[in-house]
Structure 1
């Protein structure tokens, strides 16, 4: 049984316009993740109530190799470059599996 490899990313966006454009960028990127990344189990963009310029990603991959493959995808490289226009801060937390229900 695979335990997965996960992370949480908290993005603080520059302003409301940046937030809308960021969400559109994420949606376009997700189309390609769904199509081309079998090892990406969960990739979700969350809005934070009361913090309109914050987004939180939860990402779960089959294993570290699937995450490494994700990072090498052309659509992810484009996302990482393009997001800089909208993001003022990004905080990444990597996760180690302890227990849970899958």
Structure 2
């Protein structure tokens, strides 16, 4: 299993547009064969912060995700809505429950 967390800081007034773009991206990602889970979260107390939490079967599945057309489209189209590049962290599972580690 391979996981990624990406935090985006959205410009005030652009939340609705960013969220619509994120919803589109999540919908498109649902068809990726190596995807285990993908969610976008709002941080309590930080109304402009968005966190993408992505779980892939393995690193190769993540690389496939990064290479697809929809990811590249999101990468280009989200830029006007955020204050700068996302903070991205790559996660290595140490312990899990509910069958997440395979």
1:23 aligns with 19
* Cα RMSD for the two superposed structures: 0.9
SS where residue 78 of structure 2 aligns?
helix
Deviation at 1:28, TM superposition (A): 1.0
Q: Which has the higher strand share?
A: 1
The answer as to 2:94 corresponding to 1:93 is no
Residue segments in structure 2 that go unaligned for 5+ positions in a row: none
1:1-102 map, 5 Å: 4-15=1-12, 17-35=13-31, 37-89=32-84, 90-101=86-97, 102=99
Q: Distance in 2 between matches of 1:9 and 1:29?
A: 14
After TM superposition, the score normalised by the length of structure 2 is 0.90
How many residues of Structure 1 are paired with residues of Structure 2 in the alignment? 97
Q: Distance in 1 between matches of 2:66 and 2:18?
A: 18
Q: Which has the higher helix share?
A: 1
Q: Distance in 1 between matches of 2:71 and 2:45?
A: 28
After TM superposition, the score normalised by the length of structure 1 is 0.90
